């Protein structure tokens, strides 16, 4: 049954919400649990669609998974894994199937993963993953709509990624944990969610260290054991609600917002005129008199400005005085969503030049990856079809900010990644009706 949200806008958000575990850590950690026989436990698990999809993928491979959504715990029994073949129906649902290659290869000597499609934010190829597995000694073939991997045992090696890919780093890190010998992953991603995965692997018995210059060194061990791990808090959820508070001229305490993981975001928020007070258990965000200022920023890999913070920031900048520029350097096609914002009254133009920063790898390739936002523009309610998860949240913020009624369809995208999003917005005073069709 399709659901839609009907939002009556014009609310200053006020109150308190609590952040849950990070979507982009928990789903990978569910996979990592398969590296050990026995039951691993994850805590601080968000109640989101992506956890559910990943649970179904794991169950389709024979794993026992117990999810207590109210308690925020997951128990994953890797010992019952019974097949190395991820069913085709899970292709394209999320990015998880390709991350299962390491555990499946170690357990069965082979892995079959259905082909993943591109998506609304770019092509999202998996060439770094494939090359990495070949470097570790796996044979990789593509036929019948799936990638087929095989290896007796992976062998440690030195891998230099062409770009610090989050998924490829995680995939190779998990695979290397049980490989023969030592693996060095250079030019790797070092996002907090990856560090959290490394902490889980270490708790499971892996020998893994982070070295300078984006390098992970993993000394393979013969076996791993189950672990009990608390997932780090979601810095995307925290930043998204922070922007919602500031953009609406509201005042919201975000319990669990972690300054360490929001360092870069907080600097940009302050430059744009957003206010915040750091407390021991969270951060209070507020938009005093809504005196917001334009900025020129570019997204980048950690510790840069996250690409997943870009969409809510753009909403904020529609309310700032002057011309702002955002240069997106992680994904080539992540501004498709601004068309709907322009229908709401925003003035946003997207260019294929590298504006507002250094030239990036998308220069001269014709990708529309720089946005110029002219503000402040009052927004008015509109009908919007959500194209992807992060764009979906920013449509919701825009709808809460706008005058009048907005209708959002395709809300399953938002529910894939944000824990109890409607309840959280309602508790801050927003008027959102959920309609089942
Ligand atoms: C993760 O995607 C996140 N997803 C994304 O969040 C996030 O935006 C992204 O990292 C960057 O932080 C999950 O964790 C599930 P990448 P991932 O590999 O791992 C190119 C969300 O909404 N690339 O770091 O797939 C790629 O095309 C999502 O939560 C290759 O060219 O991202 C992109 O331009 C959206 N070849 C860049 O690298 C490869 O083999 C970064 O991608 C792999 C990646």
What is the CATH classification number for the domain harbouring 37? 3.65.10.10
User: Do 278 and 313 fall into the same domain?
Assistant: yes
What percentage of residues in the chain have a pLDDT greater than 70?
97
| Residue whose CA is at the smallest distance from ligand 1 atom 4 | 24
Residue 117: its pLDDT value, please?
54
Report whether 77 contacts 39 (CB < 8 A).
Answer: yes
Q: Is 236's pLDDT higher than 50?
A: yes
The domain in which residue 369 lies consists of: 3-19+233-436
SS3 string of the chain? CCEEEEEECCCCCEEEEECCECHHHHHHHHHHHHHCCCEEEEECCCCCHHHHHHHHHHHHCCCEEEEECCCCEEEEEHHHCCCCECCHHHCCCCCCHHHHHHHHHHHHCEEEEECCCCECCECCCCHHHHHHHHHCCCEEEEECCEEEEECCCCECCEEECCCCCHHHHHHHHHHHHCCECEEEEECCCCCHHHHHHHHHHHHCCCEEEEECCCEEEEECCCCCCCCEEECCECHHHHHHHHHHHHHCCCEEEEECCCHHHHHHHHHHHHHCCCEEEEECCEEEEECHHHCCECCEEEECCCCCECHHHHHHHHHHHCCCEEEEEEECCCCCCCCCCHHHHHHCCCEEEEECCCCCCCCCCCCCCCCCCEEEEEECCCCECCEEECCCHHHHHHHHHHHHHCECEEEEECCHHHHHHCCCHHHHHHHCCCEEEEEEC
Domains: count for the chain: 2
| Residue whose CA is at the smallest distance from ligand 1 atom 34 | 331
Active site residue 119: yes
Per-residue pLDDT, averaged over 223-249, amounts to 97
Residue 231 CA to ligand 1 centre (angstroms): 20
Q: Is 90's pLDDT higher than 90?
A: no
What is the best residue among 97, 101, 134, 166 to mutate for testing ligand 1's pocket, by most ligand atoms within 8 Å of CB? 166
Q: Is 225's pLDDT higher than 60?
A: yes
Residues 6 or more apart from 358 whose CB is under 8 A from it? 298
Domain end point (choices 197, 230, 263): 230
User: Do 269 and 161 fall into the same domain?
Assistant: no
Ligand 1 pocket: which residues have CB below 6 Å? Answer: 23-24, 95, 122-129, 163, 165-168, 189, 307-308, 330-331, 389-390, 417
| Residue whose CA is at the smallest distance from ligand 1 atom 25 | 167
Residue 122 CA to ligand 1 centre (angstroms): 10
Q: Helix 389-401 vs helix 235-247: angle between axes, to the nearest 10 degrees?
A: 20
Give the largest CA-CA distance in the chain.
64
What is the pLDDT of the chain when averaged over all its residues?
Answer: 95
Residue 149: its pLDDT value, please?
97
User: Do 149 and 186 fall into the same domain?
Assistant: yes
User: Do 260 and 409 fall into the same domain?
Assistant: yes
Per-residue pLDDT, averaged over 256-283, amounts to 97
Q: Is 73's pLDDT higher than 90?
A: yes
Per-residue pLDDT, averaged over 312-318, amounts to 97
Model confidence at 119, in pLDDT bands (50, 70, 90)? Answer: low
For residue 149, report the phi and psi dihedrals to the nearest 5 degrees.
-115, 145
| Residue whose CA is at the smallest distance from ligand 1 atom 1 | 166
Residue 118: its pLDDT value, please?
47
Parallel, antiparallel, or unpaired for β 322-327 and 296-298?
parallel
Per-residue pLDDT, averaged over 1-14, amounts to 94
* 33 φψ region: left (φ > 0), alpha (ψ -120 to 50), beta (else): alpha
Per-residue pLDDT, averaged over 404-431, amounts to 96
User: Do 186 and 316 fall into the same domain?
Assistant: no
Model confidence at 379, in pLDDT bands (50, 70, 90)? Answer: very high
Q: Is 3's pLDDT higher than 60?
A: yes
Residue 89: its pLDDT value, please?
85
Report whether 10 contacts 402 (CB < 8 A).
Answer: yes
| Residue whose CA is at the smallest distance from ligand 1 atom 13 | 24
CB atoms within 10 A of CB 167: 19
**Dihedral of alpha carbons 277, 282, 288, 292, sign:** positive
CA 164 to ligand 1: nearest atom: 24
**Dihedral of alpha carbons 234, 236, 240, 242, sign:** positive
User: Do 226 and 237 fall into the same domain?
Assistant: no
Per-residue pLDDT, averaged over 214-233, amounts to 98
What is the best residue among 90, 330, 361 to mutate for testing ligand 1's pocket, by most ligand atoms within 8 Å of CB? 330
User: Do 410 and 428 fall into the same domain?
Assistant: yes
Report whether 238 contacts 254 (CB < 8 A).
Answer: yes
Residue 97 CA to ligand 1 centre (angstroms): 14
| Residue whose CA is at the smallest distance from ligand 1 atom 3 | 24
Residue 328 CA to ligand 1 centre (angstroms): 13
Residue 165 CA to ligand 1 centre (angstroms): 6
Report whether 335 contacts 364 (CB < 8 A).
Answer: no
Residue 122: its pLDDT value, please?
65
User: Do 255 and 391 fall into the same domain?
Assistant: yes
Residue 166 CA to ligand 1 centre (angstroms): 6
User: Do 120 and 221 fall into the same domain?
Assistant: yes
Q: Which residues of 80-95 are buried (b: 16+ CB within 10 A; e: fewer)?
A: ebeebbbeeebbebbb
Residue 120: its pLDDT value, please?
62
Report whether 33 contacts 270 (CB < 8 A).
Answer: no
Residue 437 CA to ligand 1 centre (angstroms): 33
User: Do 162 and 311 fall into the same domain?
Assistant: no
User: Do 320 and 194 fall into the same domain?
Assistant: no
Model confidence at 93, in pLDDT bands (50, 70, 90)? Answer: low
Rounded to a whole number of angstroms, the CA Rg of the chain reads 22
- Catalytic residue of the set 63, 119, 354, 360: 119
CA 307 to ligand 1: nearest atom: 8
CA 390 to ligand 1: nearest atom: 22
Model confidence at 115, in pLDDT bands (50, 70, 90)? Answer: confident
Residue 250 CA to ligand 1 centre (angstroms): 32
| Residue whose CA is at the smallest distance from ligand 1 atom 15 | 24
Q: Which of 78-87, 113-122, 182-191 has the lowest mean pLDDT?
A: 113-122
Per-residue pLDDT, averaged over 322-327, amounts to 97
Q: Is 388's pLDDT higher than 70?
A: yes
What is the best residue among 21, 22, 24 to mutate for testing ligand 1's pocket, by most ligand atoms within 8 Å of CB? 24
Domain end point (choices 200, 230, 260): 230
User: Do 292 and 345 fall into the same domain?
Assistant: yes
| Residue whose CA is at the smallest distance from ligand 1 atom 6 | 308
Taking only the tens place, the pLDDT of each residue in 166-223 is 999 999 999 999 999 999 999 999 999 999 999 999 999 999 999 999 999 999 999 9
Q: Which of 24-28, 90-94, 247-251 has the lowest mean pLDDT?
A: 90-94
Domain end point (choices 230, 258, 288): 230
């Amino acid at each position: 049954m399709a659901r839609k949200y009907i939002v009556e806008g014009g609310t200053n958000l006020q109150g308190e919400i609590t952040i849950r575990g990070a979507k982009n850590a928990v789903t990978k950690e569910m996979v990592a649990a398969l590296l050990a026989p026995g039951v691993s436990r994850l805590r601080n698990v968000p109640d989101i669609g992506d956890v559910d999809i990943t649970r179904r993928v794991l169950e389709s491979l024979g794993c026992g998974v117990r999810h207590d959504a109210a308690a925020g715990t997951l128990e994953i029994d890797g010992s019952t894994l019974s097949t190395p073949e991820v069913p085709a129906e899970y292709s394209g649902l999320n990015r998880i199937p390709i991350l299962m290659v390491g555990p499946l290869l170690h357990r069965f000597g082979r892995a079959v993963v259905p082909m993943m499609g591109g998506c609304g934010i770019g092509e999202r190829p998996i060439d770094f993953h494939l090359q990495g597995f070949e470097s570790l000694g796996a044979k990789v073939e593509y036929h019948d709509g799936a990638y087929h991997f095989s290896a007796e045992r992976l062998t440690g090696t030195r891998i230099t990624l062409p770009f610090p890919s989050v998924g490829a780093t995680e995939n190779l890190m998990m695979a290397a944990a049980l490989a023969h010998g030592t693996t060095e992953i250079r030019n790797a991603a070092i996002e907090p969610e990856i560090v959290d995965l490394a902490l889980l692997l270490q708790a499971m018995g892996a020998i893994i260290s982070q070295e300078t210059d984006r390098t992970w060194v993993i000394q393979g061990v013969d076996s791993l054991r189950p672990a009990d791990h608390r997932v780090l808090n979601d810095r995307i959820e925290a930043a998204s609600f922070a922007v919602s508070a500031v953009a609406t001229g509201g005042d919201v305490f975000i319990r669990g917002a972690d300054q360490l993981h929001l360092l870069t975001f907080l600097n940009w928020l302050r430059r744009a005129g957003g206010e915040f007070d750091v407390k021991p258990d969270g951060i209070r965000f507020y938009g005093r008199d809504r005196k917001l200022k334009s900025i020129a920023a570019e997204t980048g890999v950690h510790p840069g400005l996250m690409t997943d913070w870009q969409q809510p920031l753009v909403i904020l900048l529609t309310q700032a005085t002057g011309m702002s520029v955002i240069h997106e350097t992680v994904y080539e096609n992540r501004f498709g969503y601004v068309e709907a914002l322009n229908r709401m009254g925003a003035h946003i133009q997207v260019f294929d030049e590298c504006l507002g920063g250094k030239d990036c790898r998308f220069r001269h390739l014709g990708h529309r990856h720089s946005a110029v936002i002219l503000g402040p523009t009052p927004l008015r309610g509109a009908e919007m079809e959500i194209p992807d998860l992060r764009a979906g949240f920013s449509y919701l913020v825009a709808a809460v900010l706008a005058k009048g009624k907005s209708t959002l369809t395709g809300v399953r995208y938002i529910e894939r990644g944000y824990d109890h999003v409607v309840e959280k917005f309602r508790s801050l005073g927003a008027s959102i009706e959920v309609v089942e069709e």
